[in-house]
Amino acid sequence: MQKSVDISVVIVNYNVKEFLSNLLNAIKKAKHDLSLEIFVVDNASSDNSVPYLSKQYPEITFIKNSRNIGFAKANNQAIKKANGTYTLLINPDTLISEDTLITLRRYMDGHPQTGACGCKILNPDGSFAPESRRSIPTPLSALWKVLGLTTLFPRNKTFAEYYLSWMDEDRPSQVPVLSGAFMFFRTQILRELDGFDEQFFMYGEDIDLCYRTSKAGYQIDYVPSTSIIHYKGESTKKDNIDYIVLFNRAMLQFFRKHYSYSYSISLRILIVIGILARGFVTYATTLFRRGIQPMIDLGIINCILIGGFVWRYHISFSFIFSDYRPTYLIVNGVVSLLFLVGSINHEIYGRQRNSIVAVLKANFWAFGGASIITFFLRQFAFSRLILLVGFLLSTFLMAILRLIRKNSGSTIRTGRGTFNSVRVLIVGLNNRTPELARKLQSKVEKNYEVVGVLRNDHLKGKFTTEGIPVLGELSDISEVIHRYRIGQVLFLLNALSYKEILHVITKYRKPGILYKLVPESLDFVIGKANVEYLDDMPVVDVDIAYQSAWNRFIKRFFDVVLSSLVLITSSIIMLPAIIFSPASPKSVHMFGNPNKGLSLTFFSPVNKHFYKNLYLLIWHIFRGRMSFVGAPVHYVGHQDLVYKPGLTGLRQINESRLYHPDDKLKYEIYYLQNYSIWLDIDILIKSLTNRVYSLQFLELDEADSL
């Protein structure tokens, strides 16, 4: 005899195994005394989802498809096998609360006229997701949305019909449409309706199913007493253009199926034109948004070229259009075209959109290429000086714009190219909190700074934090975020309930803050748009970039040039101060190398003679005994990490927040393996902007060293 099942859970997965794993853990906590069966339909994922998940969840039924058959068909595969009184259709990139299943089951038991219900859906930042409840799209409601009136008048019943935004998000109500991300159905009704219409590949099938449910005489209810988080679109990894095409095609399908015979031919034509126009406008808007940065960059290049021409040939701005010959305009076009080719090649509007190195390469491609072309085509000859100045100025201005963009706001996602570290708050205190902090701070390329931890309200039991400050309790989160300028908040799932997390992000909404989840395994972090693994795969890199002959030459060349400039510009003041100083310099024995001692000369006391000693350090750099960026001066390094001591360094600028010796070693290994002159420049900029100069000689115990 088959055991009765309360709820069948159906999840369609496509390349989001981490999100799905997190959801399955949440379902396990929400189970309580309910009898569940869970179906995961995998649409030919390429991320090893089924083997990864089947080992962790052997009790789950996996249906593996050899190709991506679409959302509707995949759901129907599991619906046909469902034995539960109710069936929950849920996206893998969601997170439910501990009370979600119980709340909705009780609601459905008490409302026999209801065929399906949904709950409040939250965005990752805690804001209300308007698709929690919607209307059936009609030609008029779609028109108001296309014209932007839905956004302008969110409380007007006529214009706001599409998302029903005039309704209170916390008021239970009967609604026409639920979000396909979360639909709680009576299984019997799903069977009566034959599940989703498989004509819909993706998008629109939820509207169609709800429409048919209502037409069959069943009620659809919105139950906001429980809520979930939806990491919108993560299961599709959709590109905006693809989404626009798929969504508008689905709307056209829905109209043809349900409305095409209700209107005259002329009105039908107008509606189709309206849907196509909406798609075109959205498409054009997306292209324009993507094109803003290239247009700005091309504007910079061409303004510099024209300005250089005016400057070089002393031409009045009023005569630019008459004196700027067509042949020179051709040069502008060549430089612009070469820049676009270089930008595509170096992905400066894609993965490398914030990379200054990529901008430098694209500009070198553009101006260098133009210089070569005009050398062979004398009729288009342009001033080489203007091209050189254009190259330097455009690279500088584009770099400044990218630095400003990358450092604006608190939601910095990576460390390279940023002046400040990514300030992280861990919420949840238990015996694994210090381990999480160590893993975060060992992610050298992310430049995380764990500011502190918030413990659970009324926490019982004592846990060590290994030097990480406890800043308060969960209820203090709003004040802590503001006081410590937090950029990212990480919730430790094995220390908090899902209900607590949902409550916090709903109540303490802060614009610009990234809320992320860390599962019990501490293997990865789930954010709004990505999954970040905390444990890197162990890789033995035989080729150390720092040991490259070319990199060592460039590093030494950079040290000589920069130290020469500093020494020359400051010698007028510093040399007399050193020569006529009443104090005599003394030799200090330091250890940049465990095998060879490093002896440097300084004035004592070091704090009193700060600038003299800094000048001497620059002199040591010029002589080749030190580098601007390198190992800690008085640090006895690891036997395998022998490199020149530096005025500052990757480890030095992060020293104050590295609690574990292994973390310090990871920073040094990262520097040696990923070395480039651009990394040195990045470290120098961070040292200057954060006023962390890492002059270790000032930190020495003078009684022992001098």
- pLDDT, tens digit, for every residue of 369-416? 888 876 666 655 556 778 888 899 999 999 888 877 777 654 445 555
Same domain, 127 and 188: yes
Same domain, 364 and 442: no
Same domain, 559 and 589: yes
Structure tokens that stand for 182 in this block: 């979360």
Rounded-to-integer distance, Cα 269 and Cα 263, Å = 10
- pLDDT, tens digit, for every residue of 213-259? 999 999 999 999 999 999 875 444 444 555 555 555 656 666 666 66
Q: Is the pLDDT of residue 509 over 80?
A: no
Residue range 514-527: mean pLDDT, rounded: 78
Same domain, 698 and 551: yes
More confident residue, 475 or 694: 475
* Residue showing tokens 């300084």: 602
Measure the CA dihedral 291/297/300/304, to 10°: -130
120, 224 contact by CB (below 8 A):
yes
Look at residue 432 and tell me if it is in a domain: yes
Rounded-to-integer distance, Cα 407 and Cα 420, Å = 8
Same domain, 100 and 196: yes
Residues with Cβ within 8 Å of 466's Cβ and at least 6 positions away in sequence, in order, are: 434, 437, 438, 659, 660
Same domain, 106 and 231: yes
What pLDDT score was predicted for residue 541? 40
What pLDDT score was predicted for residue 86? 97
What is the CATH number for 32?
3.90.550.10
What is the CATH number for 487?
3.40.50.720
Taking the complete model, does pTM exceed 0.85, yes or no?
Answer: no
Answer positive or negative: Cα dihedral of 304, 310, 314, 318: negative
Look at residue 578 and tell me if it is in a domain: yes
Same domain, 515 and 446: yes
Q: Is the pLDDT of residue 682 over 60?
A: yes
Per the prediction, the chain carries an average pLDDT of 79
pLDDT band at 426 (very low <50, low <70, confident <90, very high): very high
Rounded-to-integer distance, Cα 612 and Cα 635, Å = 23
Look at residue 154 and tell me if it is in a domain: no
pLDDT band at 530 (very low <50, low <70, confident <90, very high): low
Same domain, 525 and 553: no
HSE-CB at 549 with a 13 A cutoff on CA atoms is: 0
Residue range 141-149: mean pLDDT, rounded: 68
Residues with Cβ within 8 Å of 442's Cβ and at least 6 positions away in sequence, in order, are: 662, 663, 666
Q: What's the Cα-to-Cα distance from 155 to each of 102, 118, 147, 160, 162, rounded to whole Å?
A: 32, 22, 16, 6, 12
Answer positive or negative: Cα dihedral of 687, 691, 694, 697: positive
Same domain, 469 and 389: no
DSSP 241-264: HHHHHHHHHHHHHHHHHHTTTTS-
pLDDT band at 198 (very low <50, low <70, confident <90, very high): confident
What pLDDT score was predicted for residue 10? 97
Rounded-to-integer distance, Cα 149 and Cα 36, Å = 44
SS3 at position 66: coil
Same domain, 473 and 550: no
3-state SS record for 638-686: CCCCCCCEEEECHHHHHHHHCCCHHHHHHHHHHHHHCCCHHHHHHHHHH
Look at residue 540 and tell me if it is in a domain: no
Expressed in angstroms, the distance from the first to the final Cα of the chain is: 87
- pLDDT, tens digit, for every residue of 265-310? 665 566 666 666 666 766 677 777 778 889 999 999 988 888 887 7
Last residue within a domain, chosen from 533, 567, 599: 533
Q: In terms of Cα–Cα distance, which of 164, 270, 253 is closest to 208?
A: 253
What pLDDT score was predicted for residue 589? 56
Q: What percent of the chain has pLDDT over 90?
A: 26
What pLDDT score was predicted for residue 221? 97
Last residue within a domain, chosen from 353, 375, 407: 407
Q: Is the pLDDT of residue 91 over 80?
A: yes
477, 453 contact by CB (below 8 A):
no
Look at residue 350 and tell me if it is in a domain: yes
More confident residue, 79 or 160: 79
Look at residue 247 and tell me if it is in a domain: no
Answer positive or negative: Cα dihedral of 382, 384, 387, 390: negative
Same domain, 502 and 562: no
3-state SS record for 458-501: CCCCCCCCCCCCEEEEHHHHHHHHHHCCCCEEEEECCCCCHHHH
Rounded-to-integer distance, Cα 673 and Cα 675, Å = 6
Q: Which pairs from 380-387 meet CB under 8 Å and 24+ separation?
A: 380/327, 380/330, 380/331, 380/334, 382/328, 382/331, 383/308, 383/309, 383/312, 385/308, 385/312, 386/305, 386/308, 386/309, 386/312, 387/335
What pLDDT score was predicted for residue 681? 86
Phi, psi angles (nearest 5°) of residue 472 = 145, -160
More confident residue, 688 or 590: 688
Look at residue 274 and tell me if it is in a domain: no
Provide the number of structural domains found in the chain: 4
- pLDDT, tens digit, for every residue of 18-61? 899 999 999 999 999 999 999 999 999 998 899 989 988 999 99
Look at residue 150 and tell me if it is in a domain: no
Last residue within a domain, chosen from 498, 533, 568: 533
Answer positive or negative: Cα dihedral of 576, 579, 580, 581: positive
What pLDDT score was predicted for residue 639? 46
Q: Lowest-pLDDT range, 2-6, 137-141, 353-357, 691-695?
A: 691-695
Boundaries of domain holding 444: 422-533
Q: Is the pLDDT of residue 104 over 80?
A: yes
Same domain, 426 and 353: no
Other beta carbons within 10 Å of 50: 16
What pLDDT score was predicted for residue 537? 41
Residues with Cβ within 8 Å of 6's Cβ and at least 6 positions away in sequence, in order, are: 34, 35, 36, 84, 85, 86, 105
What pLDDT score was predicted for residue 237? 42
Residue range 466-489: mean pLDDT, rounded: 87
Q: In terms of Cα–Cα distance, which of 29, 35, 32, 33 is closest to 9?
A: 35
Residue range 192-200: mean pLDDT, rounded: 82
Q: What percent of the chain has pLDDT over 70?
A: 74
